[in-house]
Amino acid sequence: MTVSNHFSQALKVASSQAPHIKINQPKETSLYLPGTECAIKSGVSLASLTSFKVGGPAEWYVAPRQLSELEASFEWAISKDLPITLLGAGSNLLVSDRGLSGLVICTRHLRSTHFDPQTGQVTAAAGEPLVRLAWQAAERGWQGLEWAVGIPGTVGGAAVMNAGAHNSCTADTLVNAHVLCPDGSIQVLTREDLGYSYRTSILQGDKRLVTQVTFQLETGADPATVMASTAQHLRQRHSTQPYNKPSCGSVFRNPKPHAAGWLIEQIGLKGHRIGGATVAERHANFILNSGGATANDIFQLIRYVQYKVEEHWSLRLEPEVKILGDFQPV
């Protein structure tokens, strides 16, 4: 048996034998943040809150609806010396079957937008869906976010990871981001402060939380024209990427000069499956939950693809998806 076959067999065994360990927290436990109606709950399943539709429970979970509740949640976690995990749309995350310790703060209910026609700037709260913001701008004839219409994430997540598509990215139009610091203060960070590069910023792995983002757009265009351009971006994305099954979008960052999907496709990994996780036939940089997948299945497939690409091309693909929690080692 070759080394490659040994690796493949080991992955299959690991996937089938991986234990599903849940954090031992009392069910239905909840408490309210002082002075608010915002409940912190324990043992909340995260599977339904991620686009992969996998993942175990949060030790503690909160979904603030306004900045004061976000600040109170942050303060509560710090007072308990708990790690904090931010969860926006859950579209770029792989959460362990074992769940996450500490406090998971879901920002998807922190929604608001303000369009200033005098400056051409739009300010959006961290939980505002990027897709909705793109359409709102297009309806006004404001240009600059057409590319974002197919990205199922939030404004806050886009600011942190420098989300992008169609040769455009968040950094192109971002003016500043307001972030909540561990000491409770608010900082205003400019594009330069954020140190943007391909799909990353200084906020990745940082303890500061994005609360709102301001973008500079171009006003005065014909709304019908901008709407048509936005719709074309969406059609292009749907025609080249799979949307019929749960996924996180692109799994790996694109190494130059070739795209990750091309490298994976050239070594025949389209359709390769471990458990319920499958490399998509339409786009090889997508891994799909083909039904009944566990987070461990997806994790093992990610590692297998990395191994095979490195074996053939002598380069290691770097995940774009954020992998959270403990996983069965490969």
Residues annotated as part of the active site: 199, 250, 320
Q: What is the dihedral of CA 132, 138, 142, 144, to 10 degrees?
A: 70
The radius of gyration of the chain's CA atoms, rounded to the nearest angstrom, is: 20
Per-residue CA distances from 258 to 88, 144, 236, 266, 324 (Å): 30, 26, 20, 11, 27
Pair 70, 105: CB distance under 8 Å: yes
Cα dihedral sign, 311-313-318-324: negative
Strand segments (E) across the chain: 30-32, 39-45, 57-62, 84-87, 93-95, 100-106, 113-116, 121-125, 164-165, 168-169, 174-180, 186-190, 209-216, 273-274, 277-279, 287-289, 322-324
β-sheet bridge partners, residue 209: 180
Unique residue bearing structure tokens 């490399």 = 279
Single out the residue of 288, 280, 246 nearest to residue 261, CA to CA. 280
